[in-house]
Amino acid sequence: MASEASASSSAAAAAQQPVAIVCVGMAGSGKTTFMQRINAHLHGQKDPPYVINLDPAVLNVPFESNIDIRDSVNYKEVMKQYGLGPNGGILTSLNLFATKVDQILALLERRAAPDPAKPDKKPINNILVDTPGQIEVFVWSASGQILLESLASSFPTVIAYVIDTPRTASTSTFMSNMLYACSILYKTKLPMILVFNKIDVKDAGFAKEWMTDYDAFQEALARDEAGNAFGGVEGEGAGSGYMGSLLNSMSSMLEEFYAHLSVVGVSSMTGQGVDEFFAAVQEKAEEFKADYLPELERKRKERDEQKRKLRQKELDKMMKGMSMGEPESASGSKPINNDDSDVSSNDDMADDDYADVDDEYDREGLQERYAAAMEANQDSTMNDASFAKYLHSQRQ
pLDDT of res. 393: 53
Residue-wise pLDDT tens digits, 308-332: 888 888 888 888 777 655 554 444 4
pLDDT of res. 240: 52
Q: Give the largest CA-CA distance in the chain.
A: 106
Cβ neighbors of 372 (< 8 A, separation 6 or more) are 325
pLDDT of res. 281: 95
pLDDT of res. 36: 94
pLDDT of res. 306: 83
E strands in 187-337: 192-197, 262-265
The answer to whether the beta carbons of residues 369 and 324 sit under 8 Å apart is yes
User: Residue 84 class from Cβ within 10 Å (0-12 exposed, 13-18 middle, 19+ buried)?
Assistant: middle
**Per-residue pLDDT at 172 exceeds 90:** no
**Per-residue pLDDT at 109 exceeds 70:** yes
Which of 88-97, 187-196, 384-393 is least confident? 384-393
Q: How far is CA 319 from CA 26, 191, 364, in A?
A: 56, 47, 12
Overall average pLDDT of the 212-237 stretch: 73
Query: In this structure, how many other beta carbons lie within 10 angstroms of the beta carbon of residue 269?
Result: 15
Most confident of 201-205, 315-319, 356-360: 201-205
**Per-residue pLDDT at 363 exceeds 80:** no
Domains defined along the chain, listed by start: 19-228+246-298 (3.40.50.300)
pLDDT of res. 133: 83
**Per-residue pLDDT at 215 exceeds 90:** no
The answer to whether the beta carbons of residues 324 and 365 sit under 8 Å apart is yes
Overall average pLDDT of the 174-194 stretch: 89
0.85 surpassed by pTM: no
Residue-wise pLDDT tens digits, 43-83: 999 999 999 999 999 888 888 999 999 999 999 999 999 99
From CA 174, how far away is CA 221, in angstroms rounded?
11
